[in-house]
Amino acid sequence: MTSPNIPLGRAVDYPRRYDPALLFPIPRAHGRAGLGLEIGGSLPFEGKDRWHAYELGWLDARGKPVVATATITVPAHSPQLIESKSLKLYLNSLNAARFEATGTVRERIAHDLSQAAGAPVEVAFGLPPIDAHDDAVSIDAIEVDCAVYDMPQPAFLEADAADVVDETLRSDLLKSNCPVTGQPDWASVRIAYRGPRIDHAGLLRYLVSFREHAEFHEQCVERIFVDLLARCRPHMLAVEARYTRRGGLDINPWRILPGMNAPVAARDLRQ
């Protein structure tokens, strides 16, 4: 991650020309091995990583600037995830490039990101709406003592098998750190499940225990999903994190049990 041959964790000049080589893929197997998921084995979840790009621009055929926003969707089954700083640099490299048509830009971005991820990546101009009427139950007002911040603690998770419920919980207190730069990553997390009632206080303490943990956004969401599945035994489970913007990008990974409907694409007010 800190090799002088890659752009992560160090100052990098603003790109002056289009350059897909700026994209830096990271094997998902690195993070999944730490979750006990076998390389090449079946995954206990389905999902996607939904990126929102707020600072996208290029030149039209006459050299006039064009600005846009975009939603980029990377499938969770792709062998690589795309590191966020490299994605920012790549998108910036389009700023001085000329394109004959808007559709050509979308196709070029989709092609380059698909090559980096190792699977088809979807690109659409525009952003999903703000979710101003979230009906999830916030657990953040619960009074709990917290003392562990540097390592996720799945032992904090408990569920009552005698009380089966269907509920969606939310916390805005999820924070972890980028494993490359050490910068904070802030997110709201939603957990929708059906099954034994999850202890809300224990769940909140568990999420707070990520506070100084260093892991990529996608890996944190998969860790939360796997820990909940193992400790609480839900019949249905969906975990989505909506991370706040950094460098004109935010990322929203979600993971669900196979057979469930995907979460409706939306943004938080904090995004």
Q: Which of 49, 112, 131, 185 is an active site residue?
A: 185
Q: What is the pLDDT of residue 2?
A: 47
Concerning whether 185 is annotated as a catalytic residue, the answer is: yes
The mean pLDDT value for 13-29 works out to 92
Tens-place pLDDT, residues 154-185: 999 999 999 999 999 999 999 999 998 889 99
Report pLDDT for 55: 97
**Which amino acid appears at position 89 of this protein?**
L
Task: Compare 126 and 181 and report the one with higher pLDDT.
Answer: 126
CA distance 133 to 84: 29
Q: Residue 178 contacts by C-beta under 8 Å, 6 or more apart in sequence?
A: 84, 184, 185, 214, 216
| Strand positions, DSSP E, the chain | 25-27, 46-59, 65-75, 80-82, 122-125, 137-138, 159-177, 184-198, 236-243, 249-256
pLDDT in tens, 211-266: 999 999 999 999 999 999 999 999 999 999 999 999 999 999 999 999 999 999 99
- pTM recorded for the entire structure: 0.93
Residue pLDDT, tens place only, 23-38: 999 999 989 999 999 7
Residue 18 pLDDT level (bands cut at 50, 70, 90) = very high
Contact 266, 250 (CB under 8 A): no
**Candidate list 49, 112, 131, 178, residue with the active-site label:** 178
Q: Quickly state the pLDDT bin for 10 (edges 50, 70, 90).
A: low
How much is the average pLDDT of 119-134? 94
Q: Give the DSSP H or E segment for 223.
A: helix 217-232
What's the chain's average pLDDT?
94
Q: Which residues are CB-neighbours of 243 under 8 A, at least 6 positions away?
A: 185, 186, 187, 217, 250, 251, 252, 271
